[in-house]
Structure 1
Amino acid sequence: IGLNLNDFSYKEPLTDKVTFIFIARLLREKGVFEYIEAAKRVKNIYPNVEFVILGGFENNNPFSLQQHEIELLRKEHDLIYPGHVENVQDWLEKSSVFVLPTSYREGVPRVIQEAMAIGRPVITTNVPGCKDIINDGINGFLVPPFESELLVKKMIYFIDNRSKILEMGLSGRLFAEKNFDAMEKNKTLASIIKANH
């Protein structure tokens, strides 16, 4: 239950060059298409902002982004897709803001917990699970699913207000310390089990 926060220690987010990162399977329900649409629009205004996509393809899934599509995006829009990586945490640490515009109701995505633990503000959707850990305007932003227009606005907000990347990232870390610490959760669980035996 939760995270070992020693494995996900706070690292100050990059603000000199703003980098957004998406980490998930490259499926429609995870919001990859909204992320890409927002990235293209933001890059038209702020060409130096970086957009990273980490995640695997599901070639037999009609709702998955395909390899040839990502290659085109890399060429035409300068999106960063490094292929399969083992060191996801390193990529998170080199980012400024974590983005997961999911429409999938999956509880609390672990990758959001990890991003918050290392101090990244989060832009995600107001679906159950995600909306339970993101305090809108405090440790990130909530947008409706399938809403790339609002996603663009929130991304631009961080680009124009870089101190908010640090401020909201720190709020996310404090939230993680209070709510995701596996050591504390396990102690609580052990005491409940002990009390019932």
Structure 2
Amino acid sequence: MAIGDDLNLMQRHRNDQHSGKILLLISEDWFALSHFKPLIATLREFANEVVIATRSSGRFDELEALGARVVPFDFRRSSLSPLRQAGTVRSLAQLIAQEQPDVVHVVAMQPMVLSALALRMAPRCRVVMHLTGLGFLGISEGMAARVIRPAAFAALGGILGRPDTWLLAENPDDRAYLTNNGIKIGTRSTVLGGAGIDIEAYPALPPPTSTVASTAFVGRIIRSKGLETLAEAARILRHDGTKITLKLYGKIDHDNPDAISEAQVAQWQREGLLVWHGHVSDVRDVWADTDICVLPAITREGMPRAVLEAAACSRPLIVTDVPGCRHFVRNAVEGYVVPAGDAQALATALARLVREPNLRVEMGKAARERVLSGFTLEHVQEGIRSAYSALLAQHNA
């Protein structure tokens, strides 16, 4: 179907549903603002009202400025307690029944599982499950996650098997993971290029002028991002005499069971391995002053926005061979793909880019071209429109 046909179909459905409402379920208001402004804008094309249920960090006014109504809801990300989460499911079912949306759009694994359970108790509506990675529940090998996982996948399978449900994923490996675990999706799915990058807002930047090359990690300070491997790679580089400045940008995610403590980060700083800058309000300032982007994740990613932002700014990338990362970075083209958890391989890749500034420039140009090939804001919004048009057409056929 041509794009123009998609847009015409979308407009017909908007005209058919004058009181249409989409309920967007997302764990944190800051997450909605950092990653999903384009999604919210696209959803407003399909509904007279978009309602966002999320936890407040004091930024509801920014969401309301996007044209949405916001209601407070706590998904209790820090808890895997079945008793506490049972209460969350009941509250979520009550919220869905109260709002009576035409579509429930759920972002990220934990809200997806809780919503799948809640939707059993709520009036039936169309559903979009928006997978941004498997999260702690999907990747952890701890006892609690292993006990809960079978029931979680059963709940997801019950919803995703319905003809009025659509799956959005950020890489093909995550979609395959669900189907390999017995969840029947069929053709009712779309793989998006992450959350989408506004290529004009993230222009190609000239290389920094510092005499010592620098590398930055941007993201949450959690173990699954491979920061312990990165610290060990920094030790190897120091031992080998490679001069490099290593910077971390991001908050400690206290609500995540996988969080790295501030004490551990402080210890790395005392060792002289890295410098932690905390939260950064404009990541473009990071890449204007940094030569290399690194994401040494040890577990699955969705489609890491930090990598896309760095690529758009023409920075070479060093990532690990895990879903999400390997879907974007091609080894020796946009950067290097190294084995997860391998500090020596990570140090070797960093050392090569430190030594070869011309290679950094070449790979940085390739990284921006890669973004332009399917990971821009326009590409992602097009994918969302196409998914909603297909879901509405299938439901109304």
- Fold-level match, TM-score > 0.5? yes
What is the aligned partner in structure 2 of residue 43 from structure 1? 238
The CA deviation at 1:110 is 1.2
C-alpha deviations, 1:97-149, integer Å up to 9, x for none?
Answer: 10001123132111111111111111111111111111100101101111111
User: Which of 123, 133, 142 is matched with 2:328 structurally?
Assistant: 133
- TM-score normalised to the size of structure 1? 0.88
- Check the 8 A contact 1:2/1:185 in 2, yes or no: yes
Deviations 1:21-63 (A, max 9, x none): 0112111111111111112221333464200011221447664
Which of residues 117, 122, 139 in structure 1 aligns to 2:317? 122
Distance in 2, matches of 1:60 and 1:171, equals 36
The one-letter amino acid of 1:123's match is I
Higher strand share: 2
Three-state SS of the structure 2 residue aligned to 1:179 is coil
User: Partners in 2 of 1:133 and 1:68 — Cα distance?
Assistant: 33
Kindly indicate whether structure 1 or structure 2 has the higher relative contact order, using CA contacts under 8 Å at least 6 residues apart.
Answer: 1
| Residue identity in the other structure for 1:138 | V
Percent of matched pairs sharing the same residue: 26
SS of equivalent residue, structure 1 residue 20: strand
Q: TM-score, normalised by structure 2?
A: 0.46
Query: Which is further off, 180-189 or 156-165?
Result: 180-189
8 Å Cα contact 1:14-1:96 kept in structure 2: yes
Q: Aligned partners of 2:250, 2:367: CA distance in 1, in Å?
A: 23
User: Of 375, 382, 389, which aligns to 1:180?
Assistant: 375
Q: Which deviations, in whole Å up to 9, do the C-alpha atoms of 1:53-110 show, x marking residues without a partner?
A: 1122144766432212222322321521122322222112211110001123132111
Q: RMSD of aligned C-alpha atoms?
A: 2.4
Paired residues in the alignment total 196
Alignment check: 8 A CA contact 2:237 2:243 kept:
no
**Residue 83 (structure 1) aligned to one of 241, 265, 278:** 278
Where does the alignment leave 5 or more consecutive residues of structure 2 unmatched?
A: 1-194
Distance 1:106 1:62, change over 3 A: closer
Match of 1:111, SS state, is helix
Partner letter of residue 9 of structure 1?
P
Structure 1 equivalent of residue 287 of structure 2 = 92
SS at match of 2:276: coil
> Quick one: distance in 2 between partners of 1:28 and 1:164?
30
Q: Could you say if the C-alpha distance between residues 13 and 179 of structure 1 is closer, same or farther in structure 2, counting changes exceeding 3 Å?
A: farther
For the residue of structure 1 that corresponds to 2:381, the secondary structure is: helix
In 2, the alpha carbon distance for the partners of 1:48 and 1:117 equals 26
1:139–1:172 CA contact under 8 A, matched in 2: yes
| Contact 1:40–1:77 under 8 Å retained in 2 | no
1:189 CA displacement: 5.8
In 2, distance between residues paired with 1:146 and 1:105?
12
Aligned partners of 1:84 and 1:69: how far apart in 2? 17
Distance (Å, rounded) in 2 between the aligned partners of 1:185 and 1:98: 23
* Match for residue 104 of structure 1 among 299, 309, 316: 299
